[in-house]
Structure 1
Amino acid sequence: MNGQRPIVAAARRTPIGRIGGAFATTPIHELLSPVLTALLEDLGITGADVDDVIVGNAGGSGGNPARYAALTAGLGIEVPATTVDRQCGSGLEAVNLAARLVASGAGDIILAGGAESASTAPWRVERPAVPHGTPRFYARPHFVPAEYGDPDMGVAGENVARRGGISRERQDRFALASHRKAVEAARSGRYDAELVPVRVRVGRAAAVAVAADECPRPDTSMEKLARLGPAFVEGGTVTAGNSCPVNDGAAMVAVVSERKFRELGLSGGLRVVDSTVTGVDPVILGWGPVPAVRRLLKRNPGLELADVEVVEFTEAFAGQVLACLDELGIPEESVNRGGGALALGHPWGASGAVLVTRMFSDMFGTADPVAGRARYGLATLGAAGGLGIATLFERHPAD
């Protein structure tokens, strides 16, 4: 079985754009296809070598965009593809599924990750209940039955921040730190190895390459953040400044068997050790990472969180992240060392794969003194409907 141990051997992402921004007219398959091509180039393989493509997507139109993107990228008609939806956990779920398929012997090279285009996602319209009735537009589907409570994301963020006793000032300070880390990461070239420029066309103008993340703010400050009012609950602490924006982007990784890793002559990767998914009360859906991480540790006796030096956590809301970190005993300064979703953005279906891409890039492609020597990495996030997902990685080969 050791020859089938799953290893993340390459990881790439697009820049992350703001809804209606750089990728305003760029559909999902056009975000995904250049990332797929980049992975093939990184591994030195062709599309014919790929056993499957798995893409997470939360807000699209259906129709299996994974297949559409694989064909757009020229992988070939023989290469299958599937699209999965675990809402914000979709991208990480795709990676986990790929790892399990490789571990089972079902494939040796699987490209997995996620994509989201909030800018081009179709409108949602409810069919009228009676003939000649008026259709109703709605913002999101119901994630759980009404009797369980089905709060909007911002309200759920408030619930978790309140549960954890996270002050408004602390949330703003965490958001500011995320922006500062992301701005410095871009300035220093920390993202260079993971980014894939995407060519976009607006009207009749010549196509231009989008090569940088759109949302990090070099000019933000505690004073500016403090001026923002509550965004979701009157008298609340969650604001537009300490919440993630709405975004477009894609991230994909190559999960290969250990045998194929050796055959390709690759030098460094992330072994997928284990993954867990748990359910929590949908009213506090952002609490999901707490039981997910605890279950992961229980499944891997002898491993302590103190042993995990690289932690990537989707920053949907600062208060939600801080409440979970406090409960788990993870120092906030050790999380998202190159910036998180509060600054970079949260392209829902892609965000879990962005975590893995950032982890791969930091552990193998930067001068970060902690990440560069780390043995273990953890990716975790909460998802709509009351879900938590966590995945443990180990440097391969281990030092």
Structure 2
Amino acid sequence: MAEVVIVSAARTPIGTLNGSLSSVTAVELGTIAAKAAIRRSGISASDIGQSIFGNVLQANNGQNIARQIALQSGMDTSSTAMTVNEVCGSGLKAVRMGQAAILLGDADTVLVGGTESMSNTPYYAPDMRSGHKYGSVEFVDGIFRDGLSDAFTGQPMGMTAENVAKTFGITRRQQDEFALGSHIKAVNAQLSGAFDEEIAPVPVPAGHTGDHSILVDKDDGPRDDTDMEKLGRLRTVFVKPGCAAAGSGGSGCGELGYGKNGRGEPGRGEAGRGDSGFPDNAGTAQDTDTAGPADTVQARGTVTAGNASGINDGAAALVLMRKDLAIERGISYLAEISGYAEGGIDPDFMGYAPKRVIERMLRNTHSAIEDIDLFEINEAFASQSIAVMDQLEIPENKLNVNGGAIALGHPLGASGARILVTLLYALRARKKATGVAALCVGGGIGVAMQVRMADGTDR
């Protein structure tokens, strides 16, 4: 069977909601990342046969964002393009689909990635199509409706993190400590220049008239001024006193939830879910080990804005090629794609899904945890990151070595490609060989990819 290699990779900085990149569209962000990846590959854009990009919040982006990025990046009009929406896994699924296109002979070279501008996501007026004669009009936040709420229950994604925390006995203090560690690693990475190679700077308009631009070349999110005291002062937002977590038979009383699914129907309830797949040693968080502001009992919840990922803007792109063709043309490459897996679990515990798919992938590649040099597992929430790390027994010094989404941010459709880009550069900087990138996906899905670095690459 033919093998597929990653020739090049690039990402934009990640902006916070209404932050440094808020004036840049998802198409523009994706195009900047794509042009950088193509330039680094040494391949002509006109020689790339397909473009596949992840994008979740697609309203108002125009038709097929992958096609827009392709043509604006210099690809030929004879090329094809497809936009992927697998929620948080979209960017990594785009890489997988690019790999599949090459293996199936549909293309020799494919541009893949993901892009998201959550700052530019519109509000919806769902009852206006047939007119509105009298009374108030309700607007629905597109970010929450299509990105950050469970399609089955209408509850915010944070409730799934509360469910994982309760099931595995993960305390508020543990989550805050994990979040602080993410910021410390990300700040250190910025100070050391660890992100400099992977980032493609983004020009943004500046001045009152926008008559000139500045280059944004650093992520907005990492904070060098945060500490446990500040994190401990943040209130929990998804569970109110007296409300049971959704996975324990209650509604969770999530403040942001619709209480019904998006069609105005009741959520799934408890029937027909099957085995959650949790081990027998999963416990219940008591938070008796905490003190001071962080002393939050489980009944009041444990998930805060400080120990969860943010709402962000950003893009990432990679160029894939058939390995034998790269060798034939003398094109150096970063890594080979050596494994992939995805699978589903109960949506109420979606953050735990990476544990299952990483295990499945390692079985398929005849690998063990100790064989993997570095892991990039998307930090949607600290609770699920801790659960996956602990249950897989991943050493802390191998996980998200430059920080993760809690510090850097989580632009939904871009994150899968972003963590892969970051993984590749981290492996190269440390002269390591094997890595795994994985994400949990809203709706109860997990995706994972394994890569092996090339020897002697200079790109």
Matched to 2:434, the amino acid is: Y
Counterparts of 2:164 and 2:125 in 1: how far apart (Å)?
30
Among 198, 218, 221, the residue aligned to 2:227: 221
Q: Which moved more, 1:266-275 or 1:349-358?
A: 266-275
On the 8 A contact 1:118/1:347 being kept in 2, the answer is yes
- 2:358 paired residue number: 293
- SS of residue in 2 equivalent to 1:349: helix
Q: Which moved more, 1:256-265 or 1:79-88?
A: 256-265
Larger Cα Rg: Structure 1 or Structure 2?
2
Counterparts of 2:94 and 2:440 in 1: how far apart (Å)?
15
- How many Å apart are 1:121 and its aligned residue? 1.7
Structure 1 residue ranges without an equivalent (≥5): none
- SS of residue in 2 equivalent to 1:253: strand
- 1:345 paired residue number: 409
Alignment of 1:1-150 (within 5 A): 1=1, 4-61=2-59, 63-127=63-127, 132=132, 136-139=138-141, 140-141=145-146, 146=152, 149-150=153-154
Among 128, 153, 170, the residue aligned to 1:166: 170
Matched to 1:342, the amino acid is: I
- SS of residue in 1 equivalent to 2:139: strand
Give aligned pairs, total: 388
Computed over aligned residues only, the root mean square deviation of the Cα atoms, in angstroms, reads 2.0
Matched to 2:387, the amino acid is: A
Among 238, 245, 255, the residue aligned to 2:310: 245
- 2:387 paired residue number: 323
On the 8 A contact 1:60/1:117 being kept in 2, the answer is no
On the 8 A contact 1:270/1:395 being kept in 2, the answer is yes
Cα deviation digits, residues 262-292 of structure 1 (max 9, x gap):
1343444221112111111111111111221
Alignment of 1:308-319 (within 5 A): 308-319=372-383
- SS of residue in 2 equivalent to 1:136: coil
Cα deviation digits, residues 91-150 of structure 1 (max 9, x gap):
00000111111122222211111000001122233236976366532231497764xx45
Among 314, 321, 330, the residue aligned to 1:265: 330
Change beyond 3 A, Cα 1:211–1:165: same
- 2:202 paired residue number: 198
On the 8 A contact 1:47/1:79 being kept in 2, the answer is no
Change beyond 3 A, Cα 1:264–1:218: farther
Counterparts of 1:309 and 1:238 in 2: how far apart (Å)?
30
Matched to 1:219, the amino acid is: D
Counterparts of 1:42 and 1:145 in 2: how far apart (Å)?
39
- How many Å apart are 1:353 and its aligned residue? 0.4
Among 177, 181, 184, the residue aligned to 1:177: 181
Cα deviation digits, residues 55-97 of structure 1 (max 9, x gap):
0011122621111122222323222211000000000000011
Counterparts of 2:348 and 2:166 in 1: how far apart (Å)?
12
Among 378, 386, 389, the residue aligned to 2:444: 386
On the 8 A contact 2:11/2:421 being kept in 1, the answer is yes
- 2:276 paired residue number: none
On the 8 A contact 2:10/2:36 being kept in 1, the answer is yes
Counterparts of 1:36 and 1:213 in 2: how far apart (Å)?
18
Counterparts of 1:332 and 1:231 in 2: how far apart (Å)?
28
